Structure 1
Amino acid sequence: MSAPAQALRSLHHGRAAGDPLVLPGPWDAASARVFADAGFAALATPSAGVAASLGYADGQGMPPAEMFAAIARITRAVDVPVTSDVEAGYGLPAGELVERLLEAGAAGCNLEDSDPASRALKDPRRQADWLAEVRAAAGDALVINARIDTFLRGDRTTAAAVERGRLYAEAGADCVYPIMAPPAQLADLAEQIGLPLNALCKAGGPAPAELGVFGATRVTFGGGLHAQTMSGLADLAASMRP
């Protein structure tokens, strides 16, 4: 087991309600250093934030090589574990995806179960089979966060998310991420799926500690922190105009 993955995996367990693992989302080496220096135990790169920082729209044709290079710059900049959102895997075979993540220094990955281009949900059993291939290729060297997109793309019922989550748990996922799930459903989802649960923290929504009380084991921000930073930069730019 790699030391970064072991450290990251251990951070998911033994957490009290109201004390989730908070994973800020750096988009480059400089932002990663800011979050690490602030004392966060681990970081989670967002595909949207990294893509935007390099001039691409999320899920719209960013070359995988640029994403892995960005992840590598971030992991080199900090001494804490970094898990990375690599969308749906960019069409790479499981072995190659794992190899490139490990070469970039990632301790974990976020893998979604809808197609970024078509936005269509993938067949859950095929997705589970693919996740099992990723697990087999990675062994214990990556913490796999299996994103469940039913609340985002399709059936918004607990049952639909639980069906996928249980399949992904059987495939070897370490945690599940029912993105956009209502906070009131988090505890039920976590209990029925049986894995640590990742929740999205959005501006104007419940704070990370509140999401922990609702049932989240870990909290991420997607591209939100990058967007808030860019909004602040836009305000600064406006104030500089003569």
Structure 2
Amino acid sequence: MDMATKGKLFRDMHYGNDAFIIPNPYDAGTAKLLAACGFQALATTSAGYAFSAGVPDNNISRDDMIRHSATIVDATDLPVSADLENGFYDAPEEVARTIAMAAEVGLVGGSIEDSVNKGHHSGQYDIGFAKERIAAAVEAARALPYAFTLTARAENFLVGKPDIADVVARLQAYEDAGADVLYAPGLTREADVRTVVENVSKPVNVVMGLSGLQFSQQALSAMGVKRISTGSSLSRVALGAFLRASEEMRDHGTFAYAEDALPFGRINAMFEA
């Protein structure tokens, strides 16, 4: 597909009757496997990529994240949206540059956070400045020759400020700035999800894969959610299996973990296809 077709297809996915699932691969191999499973779009995960690089989240440079996003784009023909953290810089013009760089490698969407990342989540920008940053990202997205779906994120629940009224106020400000999709990661209560959906008019993304959170795609659709992402959960599932196998070998000298491994032939055949 050309970029115009990809961009429109991705934008249109947000306006179906039900929520669609956009899983988050963390390398080219997992992107190919998700495509083989039949998913229609993919999103990168900043944490998943950081863990694969052996560093904590929010420790990847903009250039490295853009290069990583390019490997996900190139792995399949699916539309890809990127986790662009907070745009990697404070200044609105740098956030706009991040969007332009994302487009240069074939991304058809990206998310911008309102958190101040200094190696870890350390708070949020003032709502007024956060809106300016989203407005700059929107302006850069609209300057592109195809539909680039911009997601604005209110990080309250990830920075220790679980104030749903402030979440709604922030998302309304980002909607007013022109964001296409609104997202408050960390929502775990149905009441909070419904509050967000009912107080904005743009499509809402909810992240699943959090421990103890078991809303189904059907249940989230009934709440009015339009997109379901998985964040770093697929990466953490894989790392969890790896660590359990490693600890079994270290502590017991046994290799029972291999019983849960997919057959070599199946994985090999999927990549051959």
Please report the TM-score for the alignment, with normalisation by the length of structure 1. 0.91
Secondary structure of 1:119 counterpart: strand
* 1:213-235 Cα distance to aligned partner (Å, 9 max, x none): 33321111111110001112233
* 1:9-57 Cα distance to aligned partner (Å, 9 max, x none): 10000223xxx11011100000000001100010111110011112221
Aligned amino acid, residue 64 of structure 2: E
Q: In the alignment, which of 183, 197, 201 is matched to residue 177 of structure 1?
A: 183
Q: Count matched residues.
A: 238
Which residue of structure 2 aligns with residue 234 of structure 1?
243
- Runs (5+) with no aligned partner, structure 1: none
C-alpha contact 1:184 1:214 (8 A) present in aligned 2: no
Secondary structure of 2:206 counterpart: strand
Moved over 6 A (4+): none
Which residue of structure 2 aligns with residue 10 of structure 1?
12
Cα distance change on mapping 1:114 and 1:228 into 2, 3 Å: same
C-alpha contact 1:121 1:154 (8 A) present in aligned 2: no
Question: 1: distance between equivalents of 2:216 and 2:109?
Answer: 20
Which residue of structure 2 aligns with residue 42 of structure 1?
41
Which residue of structure 1 aligns with residue 269 of structure 2?
none
Aligned amino acid, residue 137 of structure 1: A
Which residue of structure 1 aligns with residue 109 of structure 2?
108
Question: 2: distance between equivalents of 1:72 and 1:179?
Answer: 24
- Runs (5+) with no aligned partner, structure 2: 255-273
Cα distance change on mapping 1:158 and 1:237 into 2, 3 Å: closer
Question: 2: distance between equivalents of 1:234 and 1:185?
Answer: 34
C-alpha contact 1:75 1:104 (8 A) present in aligned 2: yes
Higher radius of gyration, 1 or 2? 2
Which residue of structure 2 aligns with residue 132 of structure 1?
135
Q: In the alignment, which of 129, 145, 154 is matched to residue 151 of structure 2?
A: 145
Q: Shift of residue 187 of structure 1? A: 1.9
Aligned amino acid, residue 79 of structure 2: P
Q: Tell me whether 111-120 or 48-57 shows the greater mean CA deviation.
A: 111-120
Question: 1: distance between equivalents of 2:30 and 2:180?
Answer: 26
Question: 2: distance between equivalents of 1:95 and 1:205?
Answer: 34
Question: 2: distance between equivalents of 1:133 and 1:227?
Answer: 33
Which residue of structure 1 aligns with residue 266 of structure 2?
none
- Higher RCO by CA contacts (8 Å cutoff, separation 6 or greater): 1
Which residue of structure 1 aligns with residue 214 of structure 2?
206
Aligned amino acid, residue 226 of structure 2: T
Aligned amino acid, residue 244 of structure 2: D
Q: Tell me whether 188-197 or 66-75 shows the greater mean CA deviation.
A: 188-197
C-alpha contact 1:51 1:67 (8 A) present in aligned 2: no
Which residue of structure 2 aligns with residue 51 of structure 1?
50
Aligned amino acid, residue 31 of structure 1: T
Q: How large is the Cα RMSD of the aligned pairs?
A: 1.9
Which residue of structure 2 aligns with residue 190 of structure 1?
197
C-alpha contact 1:22 1:208 (8 A) present in aligned 2: no
Secondary structure of 1:234 counterpart: helix
Aligned amino acid, residue 126 of structure 1: F
| Identity %, equivalent residues | 29
Question: 1: distance between equivalents of 2:87 and 2:99?
Answer: 10
C-alpha contact 2:109 2:151 (8 A) present in aligned 1: yes
